[in-house]
């Protein structure tokens, strides 16, 4: 697995998820399995099957998070107001209207709220750009031109 960059906030979010899954969620699932076993025949016990499926999913996510956390590089959010970097909040013009984006790591993405990954085509195109720069991004519907108007 290749190292990926992440903000301190994003890293802490992943660690909290891992802690929840390994303590609270794991215990909750174990309790569900025990209660389902008390119902009798496990071969036709829907509660047992669902709990075991939840356990498999939970353990898979725990493994995934453990591997991911080992291969992350924590980066500071950019304080540079001259060039776009990780954590930059930017305003761009596209087709005459303004849009705001924040450049975030892969696990903090929230497109509805304008939080785009530094690894996405749009995020990669913005990194290092300055106010006044025009950025052309290829989309399935053709090229789209963005003009950077503000960096915070």
Angle made by CA atoms 84, 88, 94, in degrees to the nearest 5:
70
pLDDT of residue 7: 86
What mean pLDDT value characterizes the chain?
Answer: 91
pLDDT of residue 2: 59
Q: Which two tokens stand for residue 59?
A: 């353990």
Report whether pLDDT(80) > 90: no
pLDDT band at 69 (very low <50, low <70, confident <90, very high): very high
Least confident of 37-51, 55-69, 131-145: 37-51
- Regarding whether 84 and 70 lie in a shared domain, the answer is no
CATH number of the CATH domain containing 28: 1.10.287.180
- Regarding whether 107 and 64 lie in a shared domain, the answer is no
Q: What is the CA radius of gyration of the chain?
A: 22
- Regarding whether 70 and 21 lie in a shared domain, the answer is yes
pLDDT by residue (tens digit) across 99-130? 999 999 888 899 999 999 999 999 999 999 99
- Regarding whether 144 and 122 lie in a shared domain, the answer is yes
Query: By CB neighbour count within 10 A (0-12 exposed, 13-18 middle, 19+ buried), where does 56 fall?
Result: exposed
Cross-strand bridge partners of residue 116: 103
Across 81-93, b (16+ Cβ under 10 Å) vs e yields eebbbbbbbbbbe
Q: Which two tokens stand for residue 50?
A: 């669902």
End-to-end Cα spacing for the chain: 32
Report whether pLDDT(1) > 60: no
**In terms of DSSP bridges, do strands 142-151 and 89-94 run parallel, antiparallel, or are they unpaired?**
antiparallel
Q: Which domain holds residue 61?
A: 4-74
In angstroms, the Cα distances linking 98 to 81, 84, 101, 128 are 18, 17, 10, 20
């Amino acid at each position: 697995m290749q190292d990926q960059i992440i903000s301190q906030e994003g890293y802490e979010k992943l660690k909290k998820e891992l802690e929840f899954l390994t303590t609270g969620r794991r215990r909750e699932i174990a309790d569900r399995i025990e209660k389902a076993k008390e119902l009798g025949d496990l071969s036709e016990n829907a509660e047992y099957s669902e709990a075991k499926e939840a356990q498999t999913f939970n353990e898979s996510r725990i493994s995934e998070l453990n591997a991911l956390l080992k291969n992350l590089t924590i980066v500071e959010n950019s304080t540079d107001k001259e060039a776009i970097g990780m954590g930059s909040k930017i305003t761009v013009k596209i087709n005459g209207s303004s849009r705001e984006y924040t450049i975030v790591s892969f696990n903090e993405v929230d497109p509805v709220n304008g939080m785009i990954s530094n690894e996405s085509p749009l995020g990669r195109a913005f990194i290092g750009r300055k106010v006044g720069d025009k950025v052309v991004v290829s989309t399935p519907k053709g090229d789209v031109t963005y003009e950077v108007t503000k960096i915070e």
